[in-house]
Amino acid sequence: MKKSLIEFLRELPDNRREAGQRHSIEFGLIIIIMSIMSGYIGIRAMGDFAKRNKNDLIKYLKPLKPRVPSFSTLRRILLQVNFKELKEVFYRWSIQYVEIGKDEYYSIDGKSIKSTLSNYSESMQDFISIVTVFNQKQKQVITQQSYHNKKQSEISIVQELLEELDLKGRTITMDALHCQKNSKKY
Q: Is the pLDDT of residue 123 over 60?
A: no
Q: What is the pLDDT of residue 101?
A: 73
Q: Please state, in angstroms and rounded to a whole number, the distance separating the CA atoms of residues 33 and 19.
A: 25
Higher pLDDT, 180 or 139: 139
* pLDDT > 90 fraction of the chain, expressed in percent and rounded: 20
Which range of 16-20, 98-102, 151-155, 170-174 scores highest in mean pLDDT? It is 170-174
Q: Is the pLDDT of residue 79 over 90?
A: no
Q: Is the pLDDT of residue 57 over 90?
A: yes
- Helices marked H in the chain: 5-9, 25-37, 43-52, 54-61, 71-80, 83-94, 154-165
Q: Is the pLDDT of residue 49 over 90?
A: yes
Q: Please state, in angstroms and rounded to a whole number, the distance separating the CA atoms of residues 67 and 48.
A: 14
Confidence of residue 19 (pLDDT cuts 50, 70, 90): low
State the Rg of the chain over Cα.
Answer: 19
Q: Please state, in angstroms and rounded to a whole number, the distance separating the CA atoms of residues 26 and 12.
A: 8
DSSP 133: E
37, 46 contact by CB (below 8 A): no
Q: Which of 115, 101, 110 is nearest to 41 (CA)?
A: 115
Q: What are phi and psi of 162, to 5 degrees?
A: -65, -40
Q: What is the pLDDT of residue 94?
A: 82
Mean pLDDT of 5-24: 80
Does pTM top 0.75 for this prediction?
A: no
Count H helices and E strands in the chain, helices first: 7, 4
Mean pLDDT of 137-166: 82
